[in-house]
Amino acid sequence: MKDLQGILHEIADLVAPLCRQGEVASYIPSLGEVSPDNFGMCVAMADGSIYGAGDWRTPFSIQSISKVFSLALVMSYDYESIWKRVFREPSGTPFNSMIQLEADRGIPRNPFINAGALVVTDRLLTLTGDAAGSVRGLLRSESGNASIDIDAVVAASEADHGHRNASMAHLLASYGNLENPVDLVLENYFKQCAMEMNCEDLAKASLFLARQGVSAGGSPFLSPNQSKRVNAVMLTCGTYDAAGEFAYRVGLPGKSGVGGGIVAIIPGRCSITVWGPALGPNGNSVAGIAALDAFTSRTGWSIF
């Protein structure tokens, strides 16, 4: 076994000078207040052992990482029908772009850009009656931390500054691709994005994707095939228009959020979370990608 703990400490030191490269998301005030000097990393092994370094127990806003959990939940209820309403192709455009949505007549390119995530949240709302609550329930049960919750200030702020997401939701509705009222879909989407978690809880909560869909309690949450498919969409679409660069540098399925977190999965082995709030031009953590690049390079653990 490699000295994982030592590797994580080395990586935290290595990426510290990168923490001030890029910009902290500032489209809502509370995200803009987070210091770029934070850096945390956690590895949760499939056997349950946990390794962490830096600010790995400091909570942050998971933002678009929530899209993995809403997709997994929808697939757990209803495997195939979601794919009639959302494609699974890389978009090559920013996560909040609307251009393709019009060209593709209301079918989003994939579930991990905002338009696609709104459709997934809408479906989850139909299936459960409480999409954000279902995501929170999954995060709590998989991490074992019952205090994980929505940051109400961030959720309200998302709504106050949510003109672009609201436009997207209305465009989806105009094409008949929402089943629920636009305001309800947006409320659930903003709440799921506003979930506050630390690297440790997020690594534990994502571990089912490294265990062929088996939940923390040992029962199947997703089938091995469903788990494979969620990981595949993460690989091709999880970091938006930088998914090719992420695959080249990291060599793993990954999902980022504008709070500066990234989840990456090594199927059969572990889940990894990194957090560094300053983002590159595509909305992905600069220090986080560098840390994952260093991790897979040093350990030799990659899917390739």
Ligand X SMILES: NC(=O)CC[C@H](N)C(=O)O
Q: Which residues are annotated as a binding site for substrate?
A: 64, 114, 158, 165, 189, 240, 258
Contact residues for 84 (Cβ-Cβ < 8 A; gap 6+): none
Please state the residue numbers annotated as binding site: 64, 114, 158, 165, 189, 240, 258
Q: How do 270-275 and 60-61 pair as beta strands? A: unpaired
Nearer to ligand X, 165 or 212 (CB): 165
Shortest Å distance, C-beta 95 to ligand X: 4
The tokens 């590895």 sit on which residue? Answer: 43
Phi first, then psi: give them for residue 37, nearest 5 degrees: -80, -5
Does residue 240 come out as left (phi exceeding 0), alpha (psi in the -120 to 50 range) or beta? Answer: left
Nearer to ligand X, 143 or 165 (CB): 165
Give the binding site for ligand X (CB under 6 A): 63-64, 95-96, 114, 158, 165, 193, 257-258, 283
Nearer to ligand X, 169 or 214 (CB): 169
Nearer to ligand X, 193 or 230 (CB): 193
Whether 87 contacts 107, CB under 8 Å: yes
Shortest Å distance, C-beta 193 to ligand X: 4
Shortest Å distance, C-beta 11 to ligand X: 23
Active site residues: 64, 67, 189, 240, 258
In the bound state, the residue with its beta carbon closest to ligand X is 64
**Distance between CA atoms of residues 110 and 95, nearest Å:** 10
3-class state of residue 51 by DSSP? strand
Contact residues for 163 (Cβ-Cβ < 8 A; gap 6+): none
Shortest Å distance, C-beta 234 to ligand X: 14
